[in-house]
Amino acid sequence: MTETFDTYVATQLAAQLKQRHVVVWYDPRREFASFVDGITDGSESAQPVSVDVAGTPASLVTASESLYAARFVVEPLVSADNPDALVLYLPGMKRDHQGSVLMELEKAGTPWEPQLRHLARNALRKKFTDGVIDDLLAKESTTYADISAALDGEGQQPPSALKKTLGSGTGERQIAAWLTNPSLDAEIQASEATGELGKLVSARLGLNLEGDDLGKWRRIVARNALAIEFRSDLAGAIPSELASVPEVGADHERNARTLCQDLRHHYRDQYPDLADKAAQELHLTGDLIDPLTLGSIDTFRFEERSLLQRCGRLVSEGNYAQVIEIHARREDSFWLAYDVERRAQWEAIRLAAELGAAADKVDGDLARPPKAVSDWVDQYANSWHVLDRSQRHLEAWIPKLDDDPDELAINAVRNRYDSTLDRLTTQFTAALVAANWDTGTVLHQTGVFDLVKPNQGRVAYFLVDAMRYEMGAELANKLEQHADVTIRPATSVLPSITVTGMAALMPGASAGYDVVEQGGKLQAQVDGTLMPNLQARKRHMAARQPGSVDIELGEVLTTSRKNLQKKIGQTNLLVVRSQDIDLFGEGGSSAARTVMNTVIDQLAQAVRKLADIGISRAVITSDHGHIYASREREEAMRIDSPGGDVVEIHRRCWIGRGGATPAAAVRVNATSLGSNSDLDFQFPKTSGVFRAGGDLAFHHGGASLQEIVVPVVSVRFGDNRSSEPSSDAQVVITDVPSTITTRIFTVKLSFASMETPSVYPVLMADGRQVGVVGMVVGDGVELNRADGTVMVPVGAEATIGFVLDDDQVSALRVIVIDPTSDAELYRSPEEIPVRLGVA
């Protein structure tokens, strides 16, 4: 049963009373006098009258002569210890916004200036559509009694037949329901509501429809509403193709935008067809409009595509900040929300722009470069390493795409990176030479083990081959919410290769480290002990640290906590090794970029797992970093071998005696690097490489910041670490594919409970993390790119775009982890087969 207008007005007044207790009600046109008469039984006394306002008891004072007299009457009421709710009704009076004598009373409570037609429209919408309401309210003579009669069914207006078909929502919601459901036409015609529908469209959109062909009406309304929204969002010239679209007022334009938003939000399956047909009928295409004049709304499909194409051009032209800004505005585009490949293309262009912006930052700083080598290292650790992280992210993302990204943009930003890398390396190498290869106060690699201190609690010492500084910084970000984490840079020994760098991380290296030639090979010597290989380093560690346990990263990940605890026992030093980065990089595998991302996540997983079984600290470091170009070095970047007595030659270092010193290289003897050997070393001055066989893009051994600055990540866990979930959130995962056929795929995530926790969704296979979240979609859903966590608000549903990093797995599970405790909140009940490339 529809409520009466008296009831509706009383409810609105009661809401004001409940919120502010005192209401000063101005009614300059005496439009609500009959309502007040009704609740006061017709009393016109200026003295307080007890009334009931929708169940709220109150005192009502009517004052139509003097505001001073009214204030005199009500002051005793509001100054009482426990005053009743008060309504001061002022018929025929208009509020003075500058200095009313009732200002103190208004501030203590609230002024109320309701408009009859505004309240009437809201009340009438529960029974009539907007077209009918417009007819009723169009007459200046319409009174409170007329509205009451219409709601009570006593007036001339019949009940809305259209509401029975289209529901009782707003006019825009009703039009949206009709536009997306042609099957409703028969019911509208049968109930003789066609005229009412025409009035509704005219009232809300300003479109006058002729005839009674509802199918034709639907095309006209959809085309014009979408065109009005599109036109209102354009910042540039209006294309001639929109000349036939009628000009409408501000209210109708606003309603058209609301209608289109309703269509996209509530009818997302039907919207693409409506929009595509409208664009076709309007003859609108992307080449008619400058994409940069498009607003923030993607009404039509071609907008997103033409704007992405323009963003590619902007990247190739070096306008990185503009692209990053455009991407931020377009993240919620309808056309990207449910098309993971299109969203992945936008992500690629964002990553390209971020790489270009990082290159701009470094180049700008190099206009006034640091002087001391230690300042170079600090600047790299503080900000410049973002350049390399951005490059890694872009190069790891591109292979995941089904379609190639903008070739010109990607090539341009790759060239930009190579140019900045070359400049950075050239200037840093010059600084090293000027300092006689002295790195100053920076922690040296030979001193890293002294930070491990196994005598001060159980510690895991992670030795990660070829993990450069930016990767360590990303790892530190992932661990920050789990423990106290610090990261500092250390400079590696030279040449920056595995046999020297890993030896420098052994106990005793700070007391005695040297390099020698043995059997025609370069070998490291720690405190008098030769260390030609991994076995020798293991023996040395066992001798210097009795009771220590040595284990591979993969074993930590795949072994159950119970068996892992049994394996490590009560040791105070657990050495964890990872060789994947160097192994895949040196091998030239196309999976190397993927492995780099995967290793970071797996290290974080291993650290948290070891903390759960009693390891209180971790130190994670590396033997050397690396340069990983996006492609093979050009001929101009290749340096002829110096010749002479060659002991070893790598792409980034020459080791031997005598020979020439090419113009593109710099020579340094071993004694200048702190060794007693008679060996000489040569390193490229730039980011070029020696002709040393192979055309791989992965290089190390040289003296660039990327190669010799290694991370030292220290992690300390509190005593109160718990593996229990920090909340009782019940995770719901739906739309999981039965088979994974692409490297990027989506699932839906929501919560059955009323909490709003952040969660860490991942892909796991055989105990190892093999994929992370790359993209998210949803109202209020946020992805923390630093640590991979996702925040989903109450009542929202997130579309999670997973990125499979390890495409060698045959099956995986979707896992959702509580990031504060590492407890599992959800696990796929069955393994999901991976069949990449199988449609």
Taking only the tens place, the pLDDT of each residue in 196-235 is 899 899 989 999 999 999 999 999 999 999 999 999 999 8
What average pLDDT does range 663-685 have in this prediction?
94
Residues 206 and 267 in one domain: yes
Residues 57 and 187 in one domain: no
Q: What is the CATH number of the domain that holds 745?
A: 2.60.40
292-301, 372-381, 692-701: which has the minimum mean pLDDT? Answer: 692-701
Give the C-alpha separation, 262 to 451, whole Å: 60
What's the pLDDT score for residue 250?
Answer: 93
Long-range CB contact pairs, 71-75, < 8 A, 24+:
71/101, 71/102, 71/105, 73/46, 73/47, 73/48, 74/48, 74/105
Residue 756's pLDDT band (cuts 50, 70, 90)? low
**Does 729 score more than 70 pLDDT?**
no
**Does 321 score more than 80 pLDDT?**
yes
Q: How many CB atoms lie within 10 A of CB 563?
A: 11
402 vs 387: which has the higher pLDDT:
387
Residues 410 and 356 in one domain: yes
pTM: 0.81
Asked if residue 22 is part of any domain, the answer here is: yes
pLDDT, one tens digit per residue, over 74-88 is: 888 887 767 788 999
Asked if residue 14 is part of any domain, the answer here is: yes
Give the C-alpha separation, 749 to 761, whole Å: 9
pLDDT, one tens digit per residue, over 103-137 is: 888 888 899 999 998 888 888 887 777 777 877 78
Helix, strand, coil percentages, rounded to 5, for the chain: 45, 20, 35
653 vs 141: which has the higher pLDDT:
653
- Tokens matching residue 486: 């610090």
**Does 724 score more than 80 pLDDT?**
no
Tell me the average pLDDT of the chain.
Answer: 89
Q: What is the 3-state secondary structure (H, E, C) of 76-92?
A: HHHCCCCCCEEEEEEEC
What average pLDDT does range 36-47 have in this prediction?
77
Residues 740 and 826 in one domain: yes
Domain boundary among 81, 96, 114: 114
Domain boundary among 380, 413, 434: 434
What average pLDDT does range 550-562 have in this prediction?
93
What's the pLDDT score for residue 330?
Answer: 86
Residue 780's pLDDT band (cuts 50, 70, 90)? confident
491 vs 93: which has the higher pLDDT:
491
Asked if residue 54 is part of any domain, the answer here is: yes
Asked if residue 654 is part of any domain, the answer here is: no
Asked if residue 681 is part of any domain, the answer here is: no
pLDDT, one tens digit per residue, over 252-265 is: 999 999 999 999 98
What's the pLDDT score for residue 71?
Answer: 84
Cα dihedral: 731, 734, 739, 741 (round 10): -100
Give the C-alpha separation, 138 to 133, whole Å: 8
Residues 465 and 598 in one domain: yes
Query: What percent of the chain is modeled with pLDDT above 90?
Result: 60
**Does 1 score more than 50 pLDDT?**
no
Give the C-alpha separation, 467 to 478, whole Å: 15
Asked if residue 467 is part of any domain, the answer here is: yes
Asked if residue 663 is part of any domain, the answer here is: no
**Does 522 score more than 50 pLDDT?**
yes
Residues 267 and 308 in one domain: no
Asked if residue 545 is part of any domain, the answer here is: yes
Indicate the number of domains in the chain: 5
Q: What is the CATH number of the domain that holds 630?
A: 3.40.720
pLDDT, one tens digit per residue, over 416-467 is: 999 999 999 999 999 999 999 999 999 999 999 999 998 888 999 999 999 9
Cα dihedral: 650, 652, 655, 660 (round 10): 110
What average pLDDT does range 151-171 have in this prediction?
72
Residues 494 and 620 in one domain: yes
**Does 723 score more than 80 pLDDT?**
no
What average pLDDT does range 367-391 have in this prediction?
97
What's the pLDDT score for residue 275?
Answer: 96
Q: Are 54 and 11 in contact (CB under 8 A)?
A: yes
What's the pLDDT score for residue 69?
Answer: 79
pLDDT, one tens digit per residue, over 586-613 is: 665 556 677 787 899 999 999 999 998 9
Q: Which of 572, 579, 628 is nearest to 599 (CA)?
A: 579
Residues 14 and 91 in one domain: yes
Strand, helix or coil for residue 432: helix
Residue 542's pLDDT band (cuts 50, 70, 90)? very high
Location of structure tokens 């070096």: 318
What's the pLDDT score for residue 144?
Answer: 87
59 vs 357: which has the higher pLDDT:
357
154-158, 718-722, 817-821: which has the minimum mean pLDDT? Answer: 154-158
Q: Are 635 and 478 in contact (CB under 8 A)?
A: no
Query: What percent of the chain is modeled with pLDDT above 70?
Result: 94
Residues 712 and 807 in one domain: no
Residues 318 and 426 in one domain: yes
What average pLDDT does range 779-786 have in this prediction?
87
Domain boundary among 689, 716, 743: 716
**Does 727 score more than 70 pLDDT?**
no
Quote the domain boundaries for residue 487: 443-635+698-716
Residues 491 and 629 in one domain: yes
Residues 484 and 611 in one domain: yes
